[in-house]
Each structure stands twice: as C-alpha cells, then as structure tokens.
A and B are shown apart, each in its own frame.
Chain A
Amino acid sequence: MERYFRILRIFWSTAIAAELEYRINFAIAAFTSLGGLVGSLFGLFLFYQTGSSFPGWRWEEALIVVGIFTLLEGFSSTFLAPNLNRIVRHVQEGTLDFVLLKPISSQFWLSAHTVSPWGLPDIFFGIATILYGGIKLEIEPFAYFVSIVPLIFGLAILYSLWFMLGATSIWFVKIYNVTEVLRGLLEAGRFPMAAYPTAYRVFFTFVVPVAFLTTTPAETLLGRSGIAGTVVAGLLAIALLFVAHWFWRFALRFYTSASS
C-alpha cells in the first residue's frame, strides 16, 4: 500500500512538471473554466427568468447542482480523462505490454499514471459556487462534510463507468470516442433530476446513473434525501468498482498485443 502511495507521488510530480511547461495554457484553462461557469449559470438562469423554476428547487438550490457538476467536470479532466482516454492508445500501439510487465496492478497504473492541472480551475469554481449557494441558504458546516460521502460515491461511479468503457478497447480498438458518448450524457448532471420528464429520469437513474453524481450529493447537502440516497449510491459505487476490476481482468484475457 505504502509503495503505491510512493509511486503515485512520483507519477504525479513528473506529470505536473511536464504540464508546467505550458504555463500560458493554464491561464487559458482558467479563463475557459470561468467562461464555462458563467455559461452554465446563464443556461440555468434561462429557466428561472419570468419567475419559473424547477419543481421543488429554488435558484440557490439549483446553483448547488451546477457547482457540483462543475466540480465533477474538473475532477474528470484532472484525473480521469488524461488517464483513461489513453488506454485505447496503449492497446492500439501495443504499449500496454510495458504496463502489464510492471510489478504493480495494471489497473492502478492505467488509472493513476498522470494528472493534469487543467481541471483545477473547474474544481475551484465548482467549490466556490457550492459555497455561495450554501451560504445563501444558510447551510450548517456539518452538512458539507456529510455531503462529501455521496460525492465520493459519485466519483467512484463515474470512474468505474469510464474505466469499463476504456477497457472495451481491448476488443474494439477503434472506438476511442466511446467515452465521448458518456461525457455527452453526463451533461444531464447540470440540472437536478426534478427538471426532467419521467422517461429521462428513469434513464439517468438506472441506465446511466447521472442522478447519483450531482442530484444525490446536492440533496444530501440540502438535508433532503435522508440517508437512503447515499446508501444506494454507496452500494452502486462499491458494486461498480468491483465490476470494473473484474471486467478489466476479464478483458485482459483477450488482449493479444499489437506491433511488438
């Protein structure tokens, strides 16, 4: 375990050192992320002009969902996208061989090898939005700690789904953009589930569990869902993590290597 932490530190310090070569791009990323937040808020505002609203969600409450969504986006562009989108290339070019030869878990290597600071502004602005909404609604500090639990479950769910999609490239080498489909569907997390028609809600709860990524943490923060939402999210997260791990080992049996 300790060894993994040490490796992680080496991985990430080299990755950050490499990314710091492009400092101006970091400024652009910060601008982009601020612009993205303004855009999301504008998109939400369109529903709240003329006194309309999502049923059961006041403006500040909906803001918290936007904040959590922004936070998740930042998380995925910092930790998930740079790693998991590369699995396909490893398979395509046969460099997965080198990963498999290393004396550590290949899933760990593929999931944590690099980190990209580009998502940090998103994480920052996401937290700022959550805090703004939270202060306006006078949420007590303890609730933030409680809501971290479903948030972490949400991250685990997202990671597992993404990793499994990446792992399918062992069979279908050419579908590197399958994660883009997932990313497109995740956009649904911008709004609380109450904003969607029933069919959409079913889809985003049972097929692509977007509901657990943003709505459940927001409801926990607002002290609404009680413990039930968190428990379901937790069970789902743990199940998916196991499935992802098993799926990867299963997929590896079909790996035939390329060009080496």
Chain B
Amino acid sequence: MKRLFRIMQTFATVYYAYMVEYRAELVLWVLSGSLPIILMGVWTQAAQRGNFGLSPVDFARYFMAVFLVRQITVVWVIWEFEREVLEGKLSFRLLQPIDPVWHHVFSHASERLARLPFAVLLIVLFFILYPAAIFVPNILTIALFLLAAGLAFALNFLIQYTLAMVAFWTERASSLQEFWFLFYLFLSGAIAPLAVFPESVRTIAQLTPFPYLINFPASILVGLPVNLIQGFLVMLAWCAGFFALNRWLWRKGLKQYSGMGA
C-alpha cells in the first residue's frame, strides 16, 4: 500500500513537472477548444429571434460550462498509445512492474492541473465581457458538477483507451477515433444543449454514452433539469462496461503484440 502511494506520488510530480514545462503548448491547446465559444455566439443570437425554450443568457452559461467540461475531460491517449505500439516503445513499459496505463492516467490527470488555471482565467475574462451571464452556483452544485465532470473524464478515457487497443491489430487506430469523435461532437451536447434537440434524436442520443460526457455535467452546473441519480448510474454502468471490454482486449492484444522496431 505504501509502495503504491509512493509510485502514485512520483508519477504525479514527474508528469506535472513535464506538463508545466510545455506551458505555451498547453495554452494553445486550451485556445484550440474554441468551438463552444463560437457556438455560443450563434446560439445567443438565434435565441433572441427564435423560440428555443432557452434564453440567450441560458445559452451563454451552457456553452461556458461546455467549454469548462471539455477542458476537464479532454483525452488524447489513443495517439500516444498508437505510437507506443507502432514504434515498439510499449515493450519498455511492459518491463516495468506496473500496468502501462498508469503512465497515461497520470499524464492526463496532471495536465488537467496545469491547464486549469489558464482555463479559469479565460472564464473570468468571459464574464467580464459578458456580465449578464454571471451566476454563482451553490456549493452542492459545484460538488455535483466536479463529480460528474470527473466521471465524464474517466468514461472518456476508458472509451478512448479501449479504442486504442485496436492499435494491436491495425496501424491506424486513430482513424477509428476520428470516426468516434464525430458522434461525440454531434450527440454529446457540444454543439447544442440536448434540450433543443428534436424529441426523437434526443431519445436515441440518451441511449449512447455521449450525452453523459458533456451535456450531463454542463447541465448540472448551469441548473438545466437533469435526472441526477439515473445519470450517475448510467455513467457508472458505461464505465464498467468499457473497463471490462478494455481489459479483455488488452489481454488479447498483448498476445498479438510483436514489439516492432524495438
């Protein structure tokens, strides 16, 4: 137990130091997540004319929350894993007495810490530019939001790491990710709150894991109606499902792994 704790601490500090080293890069990654801000403009404008059931301020808050959720849940493990497999670098990781996934988990988690101050700065800037949208969620809301966003990050990571396992069999697993990303983009609530989706699409979307990755945590934060208990249970179920699939594929894939180039 003590050993495990020490390993975790070492990993966290090492990867945090590594991430802080590339501050400029990090800032650019934050800025490249500008899609919610763009859509915020279109939706607040549209809400002034049409009847969407949400006011312009609602839209502004929602997309601010989407921006924040995406900053918290962004995952890129598939590109790193793919490279490790293709270049045979996974072999060195396999020699270490610890599952290679922890490298990725800690690099993602510590990157979050390094990125967050800048994301918060952007949000403050946004509220200065758009004071009408200022709102103060209560402590319980914030706690629930952090829980939901954390869980969304875990689910997002599990899904992408599961897709990454395909790299054992094909050379370009990341093109699978690009396909997956489309559904993520259009069904997760990144382009619009699920509340404005047509009834039929919303029903279908809710059968997939996508809305729980963005719409669910963002709605909690801005106070749009969501079914809390059901939402959390469904997320846990998806996490468990992908975890099981992931471990199964990992075992199958390792037998397939030939350690090319190493």
For the complex of A and B, 10 pairs with smallest distance between CB atoms: A52-B50, A39-B186, A180-B32, A200-B41, A184-B32, A184-B34, A35-B182, A181-B32, A181-B31, A188-B38
Return chain B residues, CB-CB under 8 Å to A227: none
Which candidate, A41-49, A143-151, A241-249, is the interface stretch facing chain B?
A: A41-49
Q: Which DSSP category, helix, strand, loop or mixed, fits chain A's interface?
A: helix
Please give 12 more A-B residue pairs, beta carbons under 8 A apart, in addition to A39-B185, A54-B46, A197-B44: A32-B182, A36-B182, A42-B186, A43-B192, A51-B50, A174-B25, A177-B29, A180-B32, A181-B34, A184-B34, A196-B42, A200-B38
Q: Which of A44-74 contact B (CB under 8 A)?
A: 46-47, 49-55
Question: Does B262 reach chain A (CB closer than 8 Å)?
Answer: no
Question: Does B196 reach chain A (CB closer than 8 Å)?
Answer: yes
Contact of A184 among B31, B46, B52, B176 (CB under 8 A): B31
* A32/B178 contact (C-beta < 8 A), A184-B31, A187-B35, A187-B38 known: yes
Q: Which of B27-81 contact A (CB under 8 A)?
A: 28-29, 31-35, 38, 41-42, 44-46, 49-52
Return chain A residues, CB-CB under 8 Å to B172: 22, 25
Question: Does B116 reach chain A (CB closer than 8 Å)?
Answer: no
> How far, in whole Å, are A183 and B35 apart by their CA atoms in the complex?
10
> How far, in whole Å, are A54 and B50 apart by their CA atoms in the complex?
9
> How far, in whole Å, are A183 and B31 apart by their CA atoms in the complex?
11
Contact of A177 among B32, B179, B192 (CB under 8 A): B32
Contact A52 B24 (CB under 8 A): no
Question: Does A125 reach chain B (CB closer than 8 Å)?
Answer: no
> How far, in whole Å, are A110 and B28 apart by their CA atoms in the complex?
23
Question: Does A255 reach chain B (CB closer than 8 Å)?
Answer: no
Contact B24 A175 (CB under 8 A): yes
> How far, in whole Å, are A200 and B45 apart by their CA atoms in the complex?
11
Q: Which of A1-60 contact B (CB under 8 A)?
A: 22, 24-25, 28-29, 31-32, 35-36, 39, 42-43, 46-47, 49-55
Return chain B residues, CB-CB under 8 Å to A47: 42, 46, 50
Return chain A residues, CB-CB under 8 Å to B197: 46
Return chain B residues, CB-CB under 8 Å to A29: 175
Contact B52 A39 (CB under 8 A): no
Question: Does B22 reach chain A (CB closer than 8 Å)?
Answer: yes
Interface residues of B, Cβ cutoff 8 Å to A: 22, 24-25, 28-29, 31-35, 38, 41-42, 44-46, 49-52, 170-172, 175-176, 178-179, 182-183, 185-186, 191-192, 196-198, 201
Contact A183 B175 (CB under 8 A): no
Question: Does A250 reach chain B (CB closer than 8 Å)?
Answer: no
Return chain B residues, CB-CB under 8 Å to A199: 41
Return chain B residues, CB-CB under 8 Å to A195: 42, 45-46
Q: Specify which of A32, A46, A47 lies most central, judged by the most chain B CB atoms within 10 Å of its CB.
A: A46
Return chain A residues, CB-CB under 8 Å to B38: 185, 187-188, 200
Question: Does A162 reach chain B (CB closer than 8 Å)?
Answer: no
Which residue of A is nearest B53, CB measured? Answer: A50
Return chain B residues, CB-CB under 8 Å to A175: 24-25, 28
Which residue of B is nearest A55, CB measured? Answer: B49
Question: Does A212 reach chain B (CB closer than 8 Å)?
Answer: no
Flag A103-127 by CB within 8 Å of B: 1 or 0 each: 0000000000000000000000000
Contact B32 A35 (CB under 8 A): no
> How far, in whole Å, are A52 and B49 apart by their CA atoms in the complex?
7
Contact A46 B191 (CB under 8 A): yes
Return chain A residues, CB-CB under 8 Å to B49: 52, 55
> How far, in whole Å, are A86 and B41 apart by their CA atoms in the complex?
33
Question: Does A178 reach chain B (CB closer than 8 Å)?
Answer: yes
Return chain B residues, CB-CB under 8 Å to A176: 25
> How far, in whole Å, are A49 and B51 apart by their CA atoms in the complex?
10
Contact A35 B50 (CB under 8 A): no
Contact B29 A180 (CB under 8 A): yes
* Minimum distance in angstroms from B234 CB to a CB of chain A: 23
Contact of B51 among A36, A52, A178 (CB under 8 A): A52
Which residue of B is nearest A203, CB measured? Answer: B41
Return chain B residues, CB-CB under 8 Å to A180: 28-29, 32
Which residue of A is nearest B190, CB measured? Answer: A43
Q: Which of A181-233 contact B (CB under 8 A)?
A: 181, 183-185, 187-188, 191, 195-197, 199-200
Contact B45 A197 (CB under 8 A): yes
> How far, in whole Å, are A246 and B198 apart by their CA atoms in the complex?
51
Which residue of B is nearest A21, CB measured? Answer: B171
Which residue of B is nearest A174, CB measured? Answer: B25
